[in-house]
């Protein structure tokens, strides 16, 4: 069995498989299906400073190869979390990570400061896709300035591992990633959901009460994979990949694109045991290819995803005609170039 352990900042994980916020509850809901200690980390549902009722129904809709959601960060607030939920989940034998959201920079900072005092919560994930009510509703994460400001504010009060979750609904995600890094993020996770819409043709009206919502699922994977690859080249901090990961192969692809860890979201609704199946699949992949450690396939940020970059250059220079069998590309690719990066 290969060594699957990875580090995200000071956060140590037994394997790179995490759950995405909002798709796994508080972890305890899945205890009847899997052994929770077999997951590298569980990111619990979004938590805000004050109680939020969420959006009116309907707030979910199925789409081809995916889904739309407009739940609206429904939760009972951070104080309720501390008093009632934390005592129930603090002894789960994996990394329990809280997703933090807010409508003002002060809300983010205060929520993070409260969670900072919880010994069994080693990290938070900052959701900067939320609208800034003081700036006309523009999401914090769609401008470099907005992203850096909220990350800096949280960094000043939060002393543990800080992961910043990036929105894909931007012109240049690498600019936002660098802003988060400059603000003090230990890692960035991406992508959050893509803005989408569904219409009921018979009723001639949008399906969601909010008209638009966040799209996730298998259909978004190519976009997520591209953005992870771009960001991994742009920052020096670890990248956590998510978006359309449905099985172990998807997870491996994200690592080959530069992700140090991955999150599984929508797939949890289809198969509640998918996380442990992905862990097993990654291990089998490493064994079949003779790797001793997961780190051998995780392309380091400083390399700029070197293996993929050189592969693309090799194909271009040699005017290689891509065969029907993609394995033939790698057979013709210089093995010394594709060697694992330490």
Q: Which positions are annotated as active-site residues?
A: 130
Residue among 298, 260, 264 at smallest CA distance from 38: 264
Contacts of 135-142 spanning 24+ positions with Cβ under 8 A: 139/167, 139/169, 140/105, 141/165, 141/166, 141/167, 141/170, 141/176, 141/192, 142/167, 142/169, 142/170, 142/176
Residue among 125, 117, 175 at smallest CA distance from 146: 175
| Alpha carbon distance 29, 60 (integer Å) | 20
Is residue 280 within 8 A of residue 289, CB to CB? The reply is no
Query: Distances from the Cα of 275 to the Cαs of 45, 180, 208, 211, 301, in angstroms?
Result: 17, 28, 29, 31, 25
Is residue 254 within 8 A of residue 305, CB to CB? The reply is no
Query: Exposed, middle or buried by CB within 10 Å (0-12, 13-18, 19+), for 267?
Result: buried
């Amino acid at each position: 069995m290969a060594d699957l352990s990875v580090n995200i900042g000071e956060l140590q994980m037994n394997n790179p498989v995490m759950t995405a916020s909002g798709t796994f509850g508080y972890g305890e809901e899945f205890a009847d299906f899997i052994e929770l200690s077999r997951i590298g980390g569980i990111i619990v549902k979004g938590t805000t400073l004050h109680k939020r009722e969420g959006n009116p129904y309907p707030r979910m809709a199925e789409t081809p190869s995916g889904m739309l959601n407009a739940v609206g960060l429904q939760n009972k607030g951070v104080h309720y979390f501390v008093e009632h939920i934390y005592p129930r989940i603090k002894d789960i034998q994996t990394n329990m990570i809280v997703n933090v959201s807010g409508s003002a920079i002060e809300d983010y900072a205060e929520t993070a400061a409260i969670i900072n005092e919880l010994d069994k919560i080693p990290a938070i994930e900052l959701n900067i896709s939320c609208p800034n009510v003081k700036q006309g509703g523009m999401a914090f994460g769609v401008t470099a300035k907005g992203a850096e400001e909220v990350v800096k504010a949280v960094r000043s009060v939060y002393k543990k591992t800080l992961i910043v979750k990036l929105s894909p609904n931007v012109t240049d995600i690498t600019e936002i990633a660098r802003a988060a890094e400059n603000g003090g993020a230990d890692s960035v996770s991406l992508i959050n959901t893509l803005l989408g819409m569904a219409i009921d043709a018979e009723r001639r009206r949008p399906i969601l009460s909010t008209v638009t919502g966040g799209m996730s699922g298998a259909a978004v994977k190519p976009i997520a994979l591209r953005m992870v690859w771009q960001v991994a080249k742009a920052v020096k901090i670890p990248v956590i990949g998510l978006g359309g990961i449905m099985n172990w192969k998807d997870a491996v692809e994200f690592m080959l694109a530069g992700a140090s860890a991955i999150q599984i979201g929508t797939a949890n609704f289809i198969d509640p045991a998918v996380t442990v199946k992905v862990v097993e699949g990654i291990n089998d992949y490493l064994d079949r290819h003779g790797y001793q450690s997961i780190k051998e396939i995780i392309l380091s940020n400083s390399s700029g995803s070197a293996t993929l970059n050189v592969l693309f250059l090799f194909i271009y220079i040699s005017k290689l005609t891509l065969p029907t069998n993609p394995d033939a590309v790698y057979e013709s690719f210089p093995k010394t170039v594709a060697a694992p990066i330490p």
